[in-house]
Amino acid sequence: MKNELMTEEDVTQFKALFRKYCRGEINAGRCSDDSCDPCYINKAYMEIFDSLEDGDDDGFNDIEEEVE
C-alpha cells in the first residue's frame, strides 16, 4: 500500500532511523545480529515497511546491509 503522506525520501529517512537504532543496540551489546526475529523493533520495521512497499523488505537483513 502506498502512503500518500510520506514521500519516497521520507520513507528512506524513516528506514535510516530504524537502521541507526538497531546498529546502536548491536554495538552497545544489547542485542545481536542473530536475535532480530523476535525483536519488537524488527517487527515494527517489517510491519511498517511491508505496508508502505510491495513487501520485498526482509527486516534486519536489509537494515544490516545498509548500515555497515
Residue 62 has a pLDDT of: 55
The x, y and z cell numbers of residue 49, run together, are 515497511
Residue 9 has a pLDDT of: 92
- How many other C-beta atoms can be found within 10 angstroms of the C-beta atom of residue 48? 16
Residue 61 has a pLDDT of: 53
Q: For the full predicted model, state whether its pTM sits above 0.85.
A: no
pLDDT in tens, the chain (68 residues): 465 778 889 889 988 998 898 888 888 888 877 777 778 888 888 888 887 665 444 554 555 555 44
Short-list 46, 41, 13, 47, CA closest to 25: 41
Name, in order, each residue with C-beta under 8 angstroms of 24's C-beta and a sequence gap of 6 or more.
none
CA distance 44 to 49: 8
The x, y and z cell numbers of residue 9, run together, are 525520501
